[in-house]
Amino acid sequence: MSLWKKSRVSDVVHVEGRMETERYIYTPGPVGVKVAEALMEGRIMGVKCGNKLYIPAKTYCPDHSEGELVEVKGPWIVKSYTIIYEDMYGAKLDKPVVIALVGTEEAHGGLIHYVEVEPDKVKVGLKVEPVFRPKEERRGLITDVMFFKPVEHG
């Protein structure tokens, strides 16, 4: 086990001086820019590659040299989930948090995100939909999707 592999905030190692990551500048590339622009517009993108849909969008298709960027409209479903009852310090949360792998039936992969649902109502296959931040608060990040919520029938 590496000295740097820590799992709780209380185990964080303090490093003196400047870290190289402070000088790092992330550049999203052409696909990343289009994904960010779509999030600003309230859309989620994936990559269609042959007959496969990959979520989140990838720069290069694992099966071919290049895929096609497409909007993923759903229907979105919970593919897997966990319920969190404690914070990272071991203190009980006031309300449990549901985090799920959300995707579409045909998609390879998905988004790991919050689902606003009572823990006893979540299940694999639950149909959900994204809830975006108000347009003026969006920044082109996956956090522009505040959470997914169950699709209301009716």
Q: What pTM was computed for the model?
A: 0.79
User: Is 59 among the domain residues?
Assistant: yes
Question: Does a structural domain hold residue 98?
Answer: yes
- 9 assigned to some structural domain: no
Domain assignment present for 75 = yes
* Residue 109 resides in a domain: yes
Q: Is 96 left (phi over 0), alpha (psi -120 to 50) or beta?
A: beta
89 vs 98: CA distance, rounded Å = 18
- For residue 69, give the CATH number of its domain: 2.40.50.140
The reply to whether 2 falls in a domain is no
What is the full per-residue pLDDT of the chain (154 aa) written as tens digits? Answer: 334 545 565 666 666 666 565 566 667 778 889 999 999 999 999 998 888 898 988 777 777 667 889 999 989 999 999 999 999 889 999 999 999 999 999 899 999 999 999 999 999 999 999 999 999 999 999 999 999 999 987 4
Domain membership of residue 18 (yes or no) is no
Residue range(s) defining the domain that contains residue 103: 26-150
Q: What is the DSSP secondary structure assignment for residue 115, as one 8-state letter?
A: B
User: What type of residue sits at position 131?
Assistant: V
Number of domains in the chain: 1
Q: Per the domain annotation, does 38 fall within a domain?
A: yes
